[in-house]
Amino acid sequence: MITAKPKISVLAVIAAVLAGLQVLLAAGKFIRVPVTITEVGFLGILTLIFSAIAFFRIRKSRGALRGNGLAIFGLIVSGLSMLLLIVMAVVISGMER
């Protein structure tokens, strides 16, 4: 009997790529790349949504999909970068006063 090999979740791969892009854009903000906090924040929200959907679809698939680590990576990175963006926004608004 031949069993089907589990396929990797495309959504999890997209979430991991978006998380990596978000980190690069957030780091670019520190080295004077013209990126706004809003753009990085929007990407973070998008990454968070894709990661959550991928995570729950993988868990629900009962082994038919894999890529749980990629989805968790997307959740952690987007969560941490969103937290960092909030701290940056508070610091910047405090400096403008």
Q: Provide the 3-class DSSP secondary structure of residue 32.
A: coil
Q: Which of 1-5, 14-18, 21-25, 80-84 shows the highest mean pLDDT?
A: 14-18
Least confident of 3-12, 15-24, 67-76, 82-91: 82-91
What's the whole-number average pLDDT of the chain? Answer: 86
Please, what is the end-to-end C-alpha distance for the chain in angstroms? Answer: 70
Q: What is the DSSP letter of 66?
A: E
d(CA 47, CA 39): 12
pLDDT at residue 46 in the model: 93
The identity of residue 48, as a single letter, is L
Q: Tell me: the pLDDT tens digits for 22-62? A: 888 877 766 676 777 788 888 889 999 999 999 999 999 98
pTM over 0.85: no
> What value, to the nearest 5°, has the Cα angle with vertex 11 and ends 26 and 72?
60
CB 59 within 8 Å of CB 50: no
pLDDT at 2 over 70: no
| Confidence tier at 97 by pLDDT (50, 70, 90) | low
